């Protein structure tokens, strides 16, 4: 069998394009590639070439392991003060009767539904409701922690936090400390979209800007809270915008080492104000995953979010640098099903997720939020408790 090492040497030997040959050599030597080289990969890298390089990197970091966690989602509301043009999920305040607004008790009922079930994380993300404020969410966090202290709470995008903190007239640092003391342990990666101002202007003009998003994540890192990072791709942005976005994340990671993972999010075109753009092809998806794996050398984990991407593309991504498939999500997330993702009802049991990974000749490993390994599922020799 061709190992990733010999496969890469073959590519170096046979590559007729000098730029691509030089990049492959750098990857083999574990040297960082530059922004200009990353752009070359977007412009000239063919799928097989990119897959070989990305596989080499992923194998070195994780061998054949693919991580997942057992989590569930709470989406407190889809009422939102912002008007991102790609969003199929939100409702403006005056049409809030078409959406949902969960009370603290309703959210606690969702938490209690998992009593006795070995989930390790709750993921809380929603719209930005003008009446759900810092105090409201601190109370929710305290109640969750009082009920289930061992459940890791990952919640609130920088967009939600920015609004909450400004409304409460506290600094990012003060607000983050309050949330942390109430029980918030890490942040999801949403709201990053594309940092470049000219693209944000077209897709999400009214919410926190790129520097604001990065500042919130840097503050969380300084307080010892890890975070995730996302990039929404496949709309108005060009390759240079993607490189710039990933480069800004890579720079912050050099500084803080606080990011757990990078999650490219494919723009889904169902039922929103940018539907006319359509969607990029699966080839572009796989090329992007591979390039992210090659360029983001200080991000240990690259996640494909299967409810958004669909199960088959998520499986394919495991051969293009991805080493994490997020979680055994319950049917509580609507962000993607409302945007036309294949997964109308994104539920996958641990057994399903392991089978999906094993079918790709990879090893399923359950992890916690911070990527500590909980259990390997090499061979499905015992029934899995969900
Ligand atoms: O910021 C919204 C994206 C994000 C669409 O950290 C869309 O583990 C594609 O934060 N097409 C929120 N994407 C989701 C989020 C998240 C998701 C999964 C894992 C993690 C994590 C975080 O959803 C938004 C936006 O980029 N989004 N609408 C759409 N039509
Ligand atoms: Fe609101 Fe988030 Fe939708 Fe933007 S993406 S409109 S911030 S719910």
pLDDT attached to residue 384: 52
pLDDT attached to residue 346: 63
The CB of 230 under 6 Å from ligand 1? The reply is yes
Atom of ligand 1 nearest to the CA of 86: 30
Residue 271's pLDDT band, with cuts at 50, 70 and 90, is confident
Q: Averaged over 104-116, what is the pLDDT?
A: 96
CA of 265 from ligand 1 middle (Å) equals: 6
Protein residue with its CA nearest to atom 15 in ligand 1? 190
| Model confidence pLDDT, tens digit, residues 179-210 | 999 999 999 999 999 999 999 999 999 999 99
Protein residue with its CA nearest to atom 23 in ligand 1? 190
pLDDT attached to residue 333: 56
Counted residue by residue, the chain has a size of: 386
Q: Give the closest ligand to the alpha carbon of residue 232.
A: 1
Residue 349's pLDDT band, with cuts at 50, 70 and 90, is confident
Distance CA 290, CA 307 (A): 20
Residue 334's pLDDT band, with cuts at 50, 70 and 90, is low
Share of the chain above pLDDT 90, in %: 84
Q: Averaged over 331-345, what is the pLDDT?
A: 60
Pocket test for ligand 1, best of 277, 335, 341 (most atoms within 8 A of CB): 335
pLDDT attached to residue 6: 80
The CB of 157 under 6 Å from ligand 1? The reply is yes
Instruction: Please state, as a whole number, how many other Cβ atoms lie within 10 Å of the Cβ of residue 105.
Output: 8
The CB of 213 under 6 Å from ligand 1? The reply is no
Protein residue with its CA nearest to atom 14 in ligand 1? 190
Residues with CB under 6 A from ligand 2: 80, 82-84, 87, 89-90, 127-128, 159, 204, 207
pLDDT attached to residue 39: 98
pLDDT attached to residue 308: 86
Share of the chain above pLDDT 70, in %: 92
| Model confidence pLDDT, tens digit, residues 72-100 | 999 999 999 999 999 998 999 999 999 99
pLDDT of 335 higher than 90: no
CB 217 within 8 A of CB 252: yes
CB 78 within 8 A of CB 339: no
pLDDT of 163 higher than 60: yes
Mean pLDDT of the chain: 93
DSSP 63-132: TTEEEEE-EEEE--B-B-S---TT-SS-B-GGGGGGS-B--HHHHHHHHHTTTTS---EEEE-----TT-
Protein residue with its CA nearest to atom 4 in ligand 1? 190
Q: Where are the domains of the chain?
A: 4-62, 65-376
The CB of 90 under 6 Å from ligand 1? The reply is no
CA of 91 from ligand 2 middle (Å) equals: 9
CA of 86 from ligand 2 middle (Å) equals: 8
pLDDT attached to residue 351: 87
Higher pLDDT, 383 or 328: 328
pLDDT attached to residue 386: 47
Distance CA 319, CA 158 (A): 31
Alpha helices in 148-298 (DSSP H): 158-168, 172-182, 197-203, 210-222, 239-256, 282-295
CA of 376 from ligand 1 middle (Å) equals: 28
Structure tokens at 69: 């966690």
CA of 350 from ligand 2 middle (Å) equals: 30
Atom of ligand 1 nearest to the CA of 340: 30
pLDDT attached to residue 49: 95
Q: Averaged over 134-155, what is the pLDDT?
A: 98
pLDDT attached to residue 129: 96
4 three-state secondary structure:
helix
Q: Averaged over 214-222, what is the pLDDT?
A: 98
Q: Hey, which CATH number is domain 65-376, 1.10.10.10, 3.40.50.1820, 3.20.20.70, 3.40.50.1580?
A: 3.20.20.70
Q: Give the closest ligand to the alpha carbon of residue 329.
A: 1
Protein residue with its CA nearest to atom 4 in ligand 2? 84
CA of 9 from ligand 2 middle (Å) equals: 45
| Model confidence pLDDT, tens digit, residues 228-255 | 999 999 999 999 999 999 999 999 999 9
The CB of 327 under 6 Å from ligand 1? The reply is no
């Amino acid at each position: 069998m061709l190992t990733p090492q010999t496969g890469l040497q073959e590519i170096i030997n046979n590559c007729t394009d000098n730029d691509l040959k030089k990049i492959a050599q750098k990857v083999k030597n574990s040297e960082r590639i530059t922004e200009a080289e990353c752009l070359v990969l977007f412009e000239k890298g063919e799928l097989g070439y990119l897959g070989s390089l990305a596989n080499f990197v992923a194998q070195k970091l994780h061998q054949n392991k693919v991580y997942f966690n057992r989590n569930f989602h709470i989406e407190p509301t889809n009422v939102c003060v912002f008007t991102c043009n790609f969003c199929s999920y939100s409702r403006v305040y005056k049409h809030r009767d078409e959406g949902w607004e969960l009370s603290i008790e309703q959210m606690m009922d969702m938490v209690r539904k998992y009593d006795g079930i070995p989930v390790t994380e709750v993921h809380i993300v929603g719209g930005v409701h003008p009446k759900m404020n810092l105090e409201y969410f601190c109370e929710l966090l305290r109640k969750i922690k009082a009920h289930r202290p061992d459940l890791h709470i990952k919640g609130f995008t920088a967009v939600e936090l920015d609004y909450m903190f400004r409304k409460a007239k506290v600094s990012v640092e003060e607000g983050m400390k309050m949330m942390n003391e109430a029980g918030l342990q890490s942040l999801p990666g949403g709201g990053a979209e594309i940092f470049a101002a000219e693209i944000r202007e077209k897709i999400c003009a009214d919410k926190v800007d790129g520097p604001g998003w990065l500042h919130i994540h840097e503050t969380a890192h300084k307080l010892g809270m890890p975070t995730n990072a996302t990039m929404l791709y496949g709309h108005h942005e060009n390759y240079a915008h993607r490189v710039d976005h990933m480069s800004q994340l890579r720079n912050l990671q050099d500084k803080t080492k606080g990011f757990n993972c990078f999650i490219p999010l494919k723009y889904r075109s169902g039922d929103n104000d940018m539907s006319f753009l359509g969607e990029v092809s699966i080839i572009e998806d796989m090329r992007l995953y591979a390039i992210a794996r090659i360029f983001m050398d200080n991000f240990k984990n690259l996640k494909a979010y299967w409810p958004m991407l669909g199960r088959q593309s998520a499986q394919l991504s495991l051969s293009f640098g991805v080493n994490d498939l997020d979680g055994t999500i319950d049917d509580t997330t609507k962000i993607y099903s409302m945007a036309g993702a294949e997964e109308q009802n994104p539920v996958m049991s641990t057994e399903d997720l392991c089978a999906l990974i094993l079918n790709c000749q990879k090893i399923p490993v359950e992890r916690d939020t911070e990527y500590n390994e909980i259990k390997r599922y090499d061979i499905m020799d015992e029934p899995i408790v969900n």
